Chain A
């Protein structure tokens, strides 16, 4: 499953994302044309952000210096209070978490004590 496919799958399950009181932010170092193409082609409703200087990518420690400075495939679950509750760092470009994994984390956050 490629990174872009993950966005598509998240879009497909966006109703459950919304029901879990969550939203999606996608970040890429690729230019906005590619991102815009992805948005238009896949009908993504959530914001697709452009990080040309990879500043956010570096902030989250997923900067891939070996791959032309692109982002490593990674997924973070951040709760309402701004804490990183869960992260999934892909070991390869096709290593992406399934939606069910992410939703499980969101359910745990919603059921657990609020931070």
Chain B
């Protein structure tokens, strides 16, 4: 017999299916449109055009680009190496600001440039010493942490023109490119007709037959067929 609860449950599920179908019907096109819009706006535009313009050059510029990248990497390495020097310079500033307690300054230096978990222990040590110095230390820490960052940004801004100059410097290298392309081009403009690749295959008559046997003797009608059609 009918059970009311089952009926209601079935109706509920039907309604759920309808709603899901409706939502899917309306949302899927919107999602696809959004995806297409995102791809059109972000991915495809200028990058694809730039690559299309220089498709012929890409193969040849790869080594040059690698060299430039290597140079860029080297510059970044040099900059990263220089970072500790810049971070080390704030230390005398600290000493000038305080000048009195060298031990606490060393502790702050340890805080800033060593691992983070040690900070709590150092702070507790400082708390045992003086509370005012701690406040000053915090301000110097903020200054010391703040000072390297703008230097980084400045270095980044300095890097960008360097990269541009590298790319520009790679452009004069381009006259080498046609020299590399030329050996690859001659096969494309073939002399009037393409050469038929030679082959040697066993025949059903039991012989090994090659195309070059007939060269200079007869034209050949080469038919690719299937036996079972």
Contacts and interface: CB of A to CB of B under 8 A. Distances in A.
Interface of A: 2-4, 6-7, 10, 17, 20-30, 32, 34-39, 47-51, 55-57, 59-60, 62, 70-85, 93, 102, 106, 109, 115
Given A25-B209, A47-B209, A93-B226, A81 B216 contact: yes
**What is the interface of chain A mostly: helix, strand, loop, or mixed?**
mixed
Nearest to A30: B227
Nearest to B220: A78
Given A27-B201, A48-B205, A56-B199, A78 B211 contact: yes
Nearest to A40: B204
A62 B222 CA distance: 12
Contact of A83 (B192, B198, B199, B217): B192
Given A25-B211, A25-B222, A83-B195, 12 more contacts: A4-B228, A21-B219, A23-B220, A30-B227, A35-B227, A36-B204, A56-B201, A59-B199, A75-B223, A77-B222, A81-B215, A82-B198
A55 B210 CA distance: 13
Interface of B: 191-199, 201-205, 207, 209, 211-212, 214-229
B219 A115 contact: no
Contacts of B229: 2-4, 93
Given A47-B207, A84-B194, A7 B215 contact: no
A20 B219 contact: yes
A61 to B, nearest CB: 10
A7 B228 CA distance: 12
Nearest to A34: B227
Given A84-B193, A85-B193, A24 B220 contact: yes
A72 B115 CA distance: 70
Given A30-B227, A39-B204, A82-B212, A76 B199 contact: no
A32 B227 CA distance: 9
